[in-house]
Amino acid sequence: MGDALGRGHPRRGPGMTQLADAGPAPSPDAAPGAERGPRRPRAVYVLGVVVLAILAYLVLSPLFYLAWRGLTTGEGFSLANISAAYSVEGTPEMLVNSFVFAFGSAAVSTVSGTALAFFCVRSNAPLKPLLYAASIVPLIIPGILFTIAWVFLLSEDVGVINILLRSVGLDFLQIDAFSLLGMALIDGMHLSPLVFLLMFAAFKATDPALEESALMSGASVPSVIRKVTLPLVRPALFGAILVMVVRGLESFETPAVLGIPSGNWVFTSRIYQALHTYPVRYDIAAIYSISLLLLTVAGLLFVQRVNRRGERFQTISGKGFRPRPLDLGRWRWPVSVLFALYFVVVVVLPVAILVWMSLLPYYQTPSIDALDTLTLRNYERMFDMPGVVDAVRNSAILAVTSATAVMLFTSVVAWFVLKSRMRGARFLETLASFPLAMPGLVLGVALIFIYLRSPLPIYGTLLILFIAYVTRYLPYGIRYATSSLGQVSAELEDSAQMSGATWRDTFRRVVVPLMAPGIVAGWVYIVVVSVRELSSSILLYSQDTRVLSVTIWELWENGETGVLAAVGVVMVVALMILVGVAYKLGARVGVRDL
């Protein structure tokens, strides 16, 4: 240090020593690249390394296992599995179907989720609470129930909606659930809450002045939305689309229930089959998920590329930022009617079917006769079931802790990705997105593999489930975190620094509160989906760590659809309350609405 300062520099006052104590001034010949920016004191580097280590551990360990399984046969490394996976008859059609389905359902969920979020956050549309409910409820209904409920609503013969449409002579509006269109529609509606929550956070951060100035330029409300509002939330939007497409490619509840009967085989029905056949073809499943992984990475690179000029999306500024709804003018009522309709279709009908199912000993098409058989037995059964209390408790603990952990962790990761200006920080985002392509079952197997060999007593405890959930939901967390942090203008952090705030102060008191809408939305999403998480839970739970989703699965396996529907109804009610509370609390943290 001394030589560094001494060399040929006449100015060398008492301050120098002090400076040397302060630290961050490496000698010039020591590590040329080590010191890159004034904004990155060493502590932040340490944190960065810790974050990277945790992330790599969580993500790469199962991934290596996966790759190893995919690329080895009994005899060692081999590409045989790849050809086995892709040489199945009908692969091209399946691929086409898959993409049609994935993009179709992504389109449905993106459009509906974005529209809902926009009108919920940024407009003065009446009936906002309805929109809000409409947006979250489908997330809460267990997937298989949602799909079944929709079969009962939309199937050609017994579908309530189709029967209604026929009776009023609107046959041409019928949509068959058992078709690619129906599949995309139903799956899209089921997944739209994910988009809704993402966009909800993004729209919260839009500076209304930008829309107002577009209005003053004479733009109509639709073109304001198209040319200003949406481009400004592009990172969130593209992120959402990416997640939706990948999810669509790997979702199998809908393709299985609706696709196979109609002959619409999709790619993931193959993974599903590979995983649900005897003996399970983990190797092939692994190949499929590696393909999916490559696709995810490609998609993510694309998203990162379109979003690369981050400052163009920074809308929470420190000057004149004043959140307020946009006056829809004459669009107010038409929009509201449209969304009331959506509400009826996506929330009221499926939930009604759910309630209906829960009140019947077996399913009957709604009719007067059926009313005689109504019974509350299913609810009694539900409360009598042994272990339900424990399962609810475990699920609650896991949901809350893993959602909290994921959101806190991904917020930090997002900060590194977007704000640290560290080289290669983008890679963290890619890394955190990997689990998106990993089927839950495979993740479960990988975790068993790892923790059976770990000296730490993690196997068979809640902790292993916690690790599984955190890993599985990292990709969602990172999307929520990056898209909301991307909208926070850098100068707000600058001004905190100028106030003398350390990194921690800045992060805790400025960054996190400003990201609050995204953090809360992500938290809500993870809480809800982790209550439903089955595919890795079922491998990892044990007597003491039963979770609710296993109970749900058992009910389904046992054909107790009535009780299951009852559970679904109770979940909808309970989680709605939780979500409500979360938002009430969340609203205290961030920028206040007007």
Partner 1 sequence: MLQVDALCKAFKEETASKHDRVHAVDDVTFTVEEGQFFTLLGPSGCGKTTTLRCIAGLERPDTGEIVVDDHVLFSHDRRISIAANERNLGMVFQSYAIWPHMNVFDNVAFPLRVGKRRRTPKAEVTERVERALNVVELGHLAGRYATKLSGGQQQRLALARALVIEPKLLLLDEPLSNLDAKLRESLRFELKRLQREQGITTVYVTHDQSEALSMSNAVAVMKDGRISQLGDPFDIYLKPANPFVADFVGTTNFIDGVVREQTPDGWVVHTADGPLTVAATSGVGVGDECVVCVRPEHVEVLRDDSSTGGDNVLTGEVQTRLFVGEAMEYQVRLPNSQLQCRTPAAARLSSGKPVSLHLPPAHCTALPRPEARAGSR
Partner 2 sequence: GSPAGGSDETAAGGDVCEGSRAVELIGETDGMDQQERQDQLVAEATETEGGEVDFYTEINDPQPVVDAFQEQYPDLTVNVYRAGSEQIRQRVLEESAANFPGADVVELDSLEMSIIDENGLLAPASSPYIDELTDAGKFENFTGDRLSYIVPVWNSGMMSADEAPTSLEDLADPRFTGRLALEGSDVFWFAGLVKYMESEEGKTRDEAVQVFRDIAANSAITSGHTTTTELVVAGQYAIAANNYIHRALELQAAGAPLEWAPVQIPVVAEITGIAVPCLSDNPAAALLLQDFVLSADGGQRLFVEEGRTPANASLAQETLGGETIEPIVVDVQEIADEYEEWATLWDEVIRGGGQG
Nearer to partner 2, 144 or 335 (CB): 144
304 phi and psi angles, rounded to 5 deg: -65, -35
Tell me how far, at minimum, the Cβ of 594 lies from partner 1, in Å: 7
Which residues, 171 to 210, sit near partner 2 by CB under 8 A?
176, 178-179
Nearer to partner 2, 241 or 441 (CB): 441
Say which amino acid occupies 569.
Answer: V
Tell me how far, at minimum, the Cβ of 201 lies from partner 2, in Å: 36
Tell me how far, at minimum, the Cβ of 315 lies from partner 2, in Å: 46
Q: Does 89 bind partner 2 (CB under 8 A)?
A: yes
Nearer to partner 1, 80 or 492 (CB): 492
Which residues, 485 to 504, sit near partner 1 by CB under 8 A?
489, 491-492, 494-503
Tell me how far, at minimum, the Cβ of 104 lies from partner 1, in Å: 28
How many alpha carbons fall within 13 Å on the CB side of residue 444?
16
Rounded distance, CA 508 to CA 585, Å?
A: 16
Using an 8 Å Cβ cutoff, are 138 and 188 in contact? no
Using an 8 Å Cβ cutoff, are 459 and 467 in contact? no
Q: Beta-carbon neighbour count of residue 242 at 10 Å?
A: 22
Say which amino acid occupies 236.
Answer: A
**Using CB under 8 A, which of the segments 268-276, 319-327, 488-496, 506-514 binds partner 2?**
268-276
Rounded distance, CA 512 to CA 498, Å?
A: 18
- Cis peptide upstream of residue 279 (ω within 30 degrees of 0): yes
Q: Does 213 bind partner 2 (CB under 8 A)?
A: no
Q: Is 27 helix (H, G, I), strand (E, B) or coil?
A: coil
Of residues 200, 183, 279, 270, the one with CA closest to residue 240? 200
**Using CB under 8 A, which of the segments 209-217, 294-302, 381-389, 526-534 binds partner 1?**
209-217
Rounded distance, CA 514 to CA 205, Å?
A: 8
Interface pick for partner 2 out of 265, 339, 409, 415 (rule CB under 8 A): 265
Nearer to partner 1, 280 or 589 (CB): 589
Q: Does 45 bind partner 2 (CB under 8 A)?
A: no
Cα dihedral 335, 338, 341, 346, rounded to 10, equals: -90
Q: Is 73 helix (H, G, I), strand (E, B) or coil?
A: strand
Which residues, 68 to 87, sit near partner 2 by CB under 8 A?
68-69, 72-74
Alpha-helical runs (H) found in 155-233: 160-167, 180-204, 208-216, 221-224, 230-232
Nearer to partner 1, 393 or 588 (CB): 588
Rounded distance, CA 85 to CA 70, Å?
A: 10
Interface pick for partner 2 out of 118, 146, 150, 152 (rule CB under 8 A): 152
Q: Is 281 helix (H, G, I), strand (E, B) or coil?
A: coil
Q: Does 509 bind partner 1 (CB under 8 A)?
A: yes
Q: Does 228 bind partner 1 (CB under 8 A)?
A: yes
Nearer to partner 2, 242 or 258 (CB): 258
Tell me how far, at minimum, the Cβ of 219 lies from partner 1, in Å: 4
Query: Residue 77 pairs with which residues in a beta bridge?
Result: 72
**CA 148 → CA 18, 341, 447, distances in Å?**
71, 21, 32
CA angle (445, 450, 455) in 5-degree steps: 145
Rounded distance, CA 311 to CA 308, Å?
A: 9
Interface pick for partner 1 out of 22, 46, 341, 374 (rule CB under 8 A): 22
Interface pick for partner 2 out of 215, 280, 400, 574 (rule CB under 8 A): 280
Q: Does 41 bind partner 1 (CB under 8 A)?
A: yes
Q: Does 54 bind partner 1 (CB under 8 A)?
A: no
**Using CB under 8 A, which of the segments 228-236, 340-348, 360-368, 410-418 binds partner 2?**
360-368
Tell me how far, at minimum, the Cβ of 590 lies from partner 2, in Å: 42
Q: Does 423 bind partner 1 (CB under 8 A)?
A: no
Which residues, 365 to 384, sit near partner 2 by CB under 8 A?
365, 373
- CB proximity list for 306: less than 8 A, separation 6 or greater: 234, 238
Q: Does 591 bind partner 1 (CB under 8 A)?
A: yes
Interacting residue ranges for partner 2, rule: CB under 8 A: 65, 68-69, 72-74, 89-90, 144, 148, 151-152, 155, 157-158, 176, 178-179, 256-257, 260-263, 265, 273, 275-283, 361-365, 373, 386, 441, 445, 448-449, 452-453, 459, 538-539, 541-544, 550, 554, 556-559, 561
